[in-house]
């Protein structure tokens, strides 16, 4: 089973307009409200690809109820959230105009007893299950929460998947995560230097592998992706050609595609191809990748 955790899920209010002008009334051409959060996106794309998962984290208030309603009714995902008694899950505003602008809410306070309840849920994971931890940590949670979770579960032979930045990522390497997915900018940030070439990215990703990461998937936007496997292989592939419509969720879709491909085949090359296809399919659409979109793009990906 795959279990995804989103600590601070959201309702994303997505709007489109020709241009966004501050200090004025702006008229929209398009609007949509979707549940969001990196782990949630992973679960939705997994479901679209025919792979079951359980999505968890913390929800609160009327926005939290809508997040769960959408996941269950619209996306047919299995939910196992901890419902907080105070506050509301956050609302994020995604403005798509001549430039992309995001305004992200704070979210509710998460008390210690709620964190303990999450730990209790995670204790039920079994050997060879997958646990996806994705995204930033709200300021009111301990900044070592990822590390605490992996440390707690380290003896259970669970496949950890971590999509995070900076120290959040570095601090979990000793627990030998099955997969980490930095993008090229995040990898540059970790080493405090701009990494632009394929050789530079591979060289520095291999350092993270030496520190414990088993497989490293590096997303590069329109330049495609790189995969370093625990078998010692290094795979690269360009992104398929298409028009960028919405970058939100593309990286999460890549993680979901990779996991689905690996679960279906047990082959890293297939997983890599499906990961790139899923990430690109989401980037080329207003919505997250569907199975038909992913299958169509997979035919055009050359590793």
pTM for this prediction: 0.95
Q: Which residues pair with 218 in a beta bridge?
A: 226
- Asked if 90 and 39 count as a contact pair (C-beta separation under 8 A), the reply is no
CATH topology of domain 1-141: 3.40.1190
The pLDDT assigned to 183 comes to 93
Active site residue 252: yes
Catalytic residue among 199, 252, 267, 286: 252
The pLDDT assigned to 199 comes to 95
Checking if the pLDDT of 9 tops 90, the result is yes
Checking if the pLDDT of 142 tops 90, the result is no
- Domain residue limits, the chain: 1-141
As a whole number, mean pLDDT of residues 156-182 equals: 94
pLDDT tens profile 244-290: 888 888 999 999 999 999 999 999 999 999 999 999 999 999 889 99
pLDDT tens profile 234-252: 999 999 999 988 888 899 9
């Amino acid at each position: 089973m795959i279990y995804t955790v989103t600590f601070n899920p959201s309702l994303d209010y997505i709007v489109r307009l020709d241009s966004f002008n501050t200090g004025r009334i702006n008229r929209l051409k398009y609007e949509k409200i979707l549940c969001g959060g990196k782990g949630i996106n992973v679960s939705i794309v997994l479901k679209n690809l025919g792979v079951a998962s359980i999505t968890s984290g913390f929800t609160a208030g009327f926005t939290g109820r809508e997040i769960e309603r959408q996941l269950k009714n619209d996306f047919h995902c299995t939910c196992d959230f901890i419902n907080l008694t105070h506050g509301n899950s956050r609302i994020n505003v995604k403005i798509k105009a001549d430039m992309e602008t995001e305004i992200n809410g704070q979210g509710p306070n998460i008390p210690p007893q709620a964190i303990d309840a999450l730990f209790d849920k995670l204790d039920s994971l079994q050997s060879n299950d997958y646990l996806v931890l994705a995204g930033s940590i709200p300021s009111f949670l301990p900044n070592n929460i990822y590390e605490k979770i992996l440390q707690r579960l380290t003896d259970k032979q669970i496949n950890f998947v971590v999509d995070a930045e900076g120290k959040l990522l570095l601090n979990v390497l000793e627990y030998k995560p099955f997969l980490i997915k930095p993008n090229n900018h995040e990898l540059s940030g970790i080493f405090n230097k701009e990494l632009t070439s394929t050789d530079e990215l591979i060289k520095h990703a291999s350092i993270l592998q030496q520190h414990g990461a088993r497989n490293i998937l590096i997303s590069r936007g329109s330049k495609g992706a790189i995969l370093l496997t625990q078998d010692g292989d290094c795979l690269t592939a360009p992104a398929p050609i298409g028009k960028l419509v919405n970058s939100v969720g593309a990286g999460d879709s890549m993680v979901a595609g990779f996991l689905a491909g690996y679960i279906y085949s047990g082959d890293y090359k297939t997983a890599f191809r499906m990961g790139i296809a899923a990430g690109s399919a989401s980037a080329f659409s207003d919505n997250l990748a569907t199975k038909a979109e992913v299958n169509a793009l997979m035919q055009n990906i050359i590793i």
